[in-house]
């Protein structure tokens, strides 16, 4: 049995898996998947497996993928794996960390404990943690590692603008905006947001001069696009010379891109945590470095 760790992936993740495996010096192998007419899955893992196994699966459109994680992780143990790491560049179900109404499911807690029962370690990028401070509180595994796309996005922004203003669309984005700004000494500020529904938000600009500035709105996740579009319209009305968008996770559901562009946004940049046409920087080197450190 080989002592070299193997990185398992599904067919649609081949490109990212290859980049990570090559940089980390791991083997890689695809998981075979067949869907029955009734929707059930038949999965097949390579055999035998080494003692150390990594599964790459980003958790956008997460519901079926969580079933895949359960099937793969449990089976990997029976095929020889003793240590299994989940690399989930986007980690779903992290936003709801308390019950806002009686009987409401605290999905972060449920999904976090579900993953902790399956995996020995979890690596993710910019998880959407709000009232929970650290990843291991949400996903109680022995090794819980958080990487960030903010520094790489900051490097990209620096290649376009010498003195941009980074703006977070709400208070929750403050941590990523501050981290990106510190990388190059950029000015930064944060808007105030009141959410009335998934597509109904009110935004107030910070008390910062915008006239003539190249503004980049930064956030961890872009989903419906309404928050980013609302911020962009206000910034341009306040005199910004340009408004671009940089996000870690490019969910961009439905007509989000069209909505954001219509609001006057120029460039839209994202990391490759979720495959999208806006992907501009790769997290593969950082993920590979983390895996190499953990397995040496």
152 has a pLDDT exceeding 80: yes
Within 13 Å, how many C-alpha atoms sit on residue 286's CB side?
Answer: 19
Strand-pair partners of 121: 85, 143
Is residue 48 reached through a cis peptide bond, with omega within 30 degrees of 0 on the bond before it? yes
Ranges of beta strands (E only) in the chain are 6-9, 27-30, 32-35, 41-44, 52-56, 83-88, 121-125, 143-147, 165-168, 187-190, 192-197, 200-204, 214-222, 242-250, 268-271, 279-281
276 has a pLDDT exceeding 90: yes
What are the structure tokens assigned to 71, written together?
């099937």
SS3 of 51, please?
A: coil
pLDDT digits (tens, 9 = 90+) for 196-243: 555 566 888 999 999 999 999 999 999 999 889 999 999 999 999 999
Residues sharing a CB contact under 8 Å with residue 6, sequence separation 6 or more, in sequence order: 26, 27, 28, 29, 46, 49, 50, 52, 53, 54
pLDDT at residue 201, rounded to an integer: 65
- pLDDT band, residue 97 (cuts 50/70/90): confident
pLDDT at residue 130, rounded to an integer: 80
Mean pLDDT for 139-144 is 96
pLDDT at residue 198, rounded to an integer: 53
Report how far residue 68's alpha carbon sits from residue 247's, in angstroms, rounded to the nearest whole number.
27
Exposed e or buried b for every residue in 38-56, given b needs 16+ CB within 10 A?
A: eeeeeeebeeebbebbbbb
Mean pLDDT for 247-258 is 95
What are the structure tokens assigned to 111, written together?
């999904």
Q: Is the pTM of this model over 0.85?
A: yes
Count CB atoms within 10 A of the CB of residue 12: 12
Mean pLDDT of the chain: 94
Count CB atoms within 10 A of the CB of residue 136: 17
Within 13 Å, how many C-alpha atoms sit on residue 242's CB side?
Answer: 12
- Greater model confidence, 1 or 211: 211
CA angle 86/53/60 to nearest 5° reads: 25
Give the helix/strand (H/E) hosting 69. Answer: helix 62-78
pLDDT digits (tens, 9 = 90+) for 18-76: 999 999 999 999 999 999 999 999 999 999 999 999 999 999 999 999 999 999 999 99
Instruction: Specify whether the CB–CB gap between 124 and 158 falls below 8 A.
Output: no
10 has a pLDDT exceeding 70: yes
Give me the percent of the chain exceeding a pLDDT of 70: 97
pLDDT at residue 1, rounded to an integer: 47
- pLDDT band, residue 89 (cuts 50/70/90): very high
Report how far residue 95's alpha carbon sits from residue 112's, in angstroms, rounded to the nearest whole number.
12
Mean pLDDT for 122-146 is 93
In the chain, the domains with their CATH numbers are: 6-148+282-294 (3.40.50.2020), 150-272 (3.40.50.2020)
Number of H helices, E strands in the chain: 9, 16
pLDDT at residue 272, rounded to an integer: 97
DSSP state, 13? Answer: G
């Amino acid at each position: 049995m080989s002592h070299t760790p193997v990185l398992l992936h599904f067919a649609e993740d081949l490109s990212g898996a290859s980049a990570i495996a090559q940089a980390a010096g791991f083997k890689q192998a695809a998981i075979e998947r067949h869907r029955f007419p009734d929707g059930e899955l038949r999965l097949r893992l390579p055999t035998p497996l080494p003692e150390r196994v990594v599964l790459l699966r980003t958790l956008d459109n997460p519901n079926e993928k969580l079933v895949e994680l359960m099937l793969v992780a449990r089976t990997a143990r029976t095929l020889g794996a003793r240590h299994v790491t989940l690399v989930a560049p986007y980690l779903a179900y992290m936003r709801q960390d308390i019950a806002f109404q009686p009987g409401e499911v605290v999905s972060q807690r449920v999904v976090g404990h579900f993953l902790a029962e399956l995996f020995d370690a979890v690596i993710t990028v910019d998880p959407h943690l709000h009232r929970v401070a650290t990843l291991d509180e949400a996903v109680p595994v022995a090794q819980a590692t958080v990487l960030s796309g903010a520094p790489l996005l900051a490097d990209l922004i620096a290649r376009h603008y010498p003195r941009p203003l980074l703006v977070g669309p709400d208070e929750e984005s403050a941590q990523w905006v501050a981290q990106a700004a510190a990388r190059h000494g950029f000015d930064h500020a944060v808007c105030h947001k009141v959410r009335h529904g998934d597509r109904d938000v009110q935004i107030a600009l910070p008390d910062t001069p915008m006239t003539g500035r190249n503004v980049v709105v930064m956030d961890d996740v872009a989903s419906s696009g309404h928050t980013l579009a609302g911020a962009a319209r206000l910034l341009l009305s306040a005199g910004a010379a340009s408004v671009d968008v940089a996000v870690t996770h490019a969910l961009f559901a439905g007509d989000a891109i069209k909505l954001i562009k219509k609001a006057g946004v120029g460039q839209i940049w994202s990391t490759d945590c979720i495959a999208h046409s806006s992907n501009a920087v790769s997290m593969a080197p950082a993920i590979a470095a983390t895996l190499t450190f953990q397995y040496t």
